């Protein structure tokens, strides 16, 4: 079973509906044991990095999430679910993340000569840098929906699956082994976004079959 982790933040129902529309069965859960028993984990989120980490800690979710990733279970992070994978964020002062992926989360500091607004909100294209399974059937330059003021800077550039330009180029998707995460919101990105969710479901099914 693919579980969507309910830790008190994020548009869980929108993500759940997106998966269901893509033909992928998911379940919203709010207990550490349900995370441990899951075949795969989806962690969406909208809001502040520090609040996210606090909620995960207070609900005893950090240990089962980290254990699941270390065991190779597929993970899909969306927005905050991407950012908390990294070592730390500078949002409202330094705050430690899960440190699954080395790197930092930083605020957009755009060149003064442009008129772009923060947060970065709306549709933007992604340039593919690799052949992540989540990008199967998606064209290079496809558009996705973004809402964020911070972005990730991985120490290992090879985990960057896509980049997006918003005054500066930034990592908009990462992929490392069983870990997938997007800065954009696939659940808000119409048919192209639903293809991302379907591709994750297909990856989970293949992973499950390989273990059986």
CATH for 2-211, options being 3.40.50.880, 3.40.640.10, 3.10.20.30, 3.30.1330.40: 3.40.50.880
**C-beta separation of 68 from 85 below 8 A:** no
- Predicted TM-score of the model (pTM): 0.95
DSSP 57-73: HHTT-HHHHHHHHHTT-
Catalytic residues: 79, 185, 187
How many Cα atoms within 13 Å fall on the side-chain side of residue 79? 26
Phi, psi of 155 (to 5 degrees): -70, -35
DSSP state of 31: S
**pLDDT by residue (tens digit) across 8-34?**
887 799 999 999 999 999 999 999 999
- How far apart are the C-alpha atoms of 207 and 212, rounded to whole Å? 9
Residue 55 CB coordination number (10 Å):
16
What is the per-residue pLDDT across 117-174, written as a single tens digit (0 to 9) for each? Answer: 899 999 999 999 988 999 999 999 999 999 999 999 999 999 999 999 999 999 999 9
207 has a pLDDT exceeding 90:
no
Sign of CA dihedral 185, 120, 138, 135: negative
* Buried-state track 152-169, b at ≥16 Cβ within 10 A, e below 16: bebeeeebbbbbbebeee
Tokens (6 digits) for 42:
């989806």
For 101-120, write each residue's pLDDT tens digit: 999 999 998 776 578 889 99
């Amino acid at each position: 079973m693919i579980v969507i982790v309910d830790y008190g933040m994020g548009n869980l129902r929108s993500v759940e509906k997106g998966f269901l529309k893509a033909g992928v069965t998911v379940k919203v859960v709010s207990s550490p044991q349900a995370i441990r028993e899951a075949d795969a984990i989806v962690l969406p989120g909208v809001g502040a990095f520090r609040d996210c980490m606090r909620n995960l800690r207070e609900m005893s979710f950090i240990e089962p999430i980290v254990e699941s990733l270390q065991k190779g279970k597929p993970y899909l992070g969306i927005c905050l679910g991407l950012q908390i994978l990294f070592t730390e964020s500078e949002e409202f002062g330094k705050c430690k993340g899960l440190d699954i992926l080395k790197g930092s989360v930083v605020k957009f500091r755009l060149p003064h000569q442009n008129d772009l607004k923060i947060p970065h909100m709306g549709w933007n294209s992604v340039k593919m840098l690799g052949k992540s399974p989540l990008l199967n059937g998606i064209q290079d330059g496809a558009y996705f929906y973004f809402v964020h003021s911070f972005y990730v800077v991985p120490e290992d550039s090879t985990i960057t699956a896509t980049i997006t330009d918003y005054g500066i180029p930034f990592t908009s998707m990462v992929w490392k082994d069983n870990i997938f995460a997007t800065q954009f919101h696939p659940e808000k990105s119409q048919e192209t976004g639903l293809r991302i969710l379907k591709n994750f479901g297909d990856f989970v099914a293949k992973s499950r079959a390989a273990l059986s």
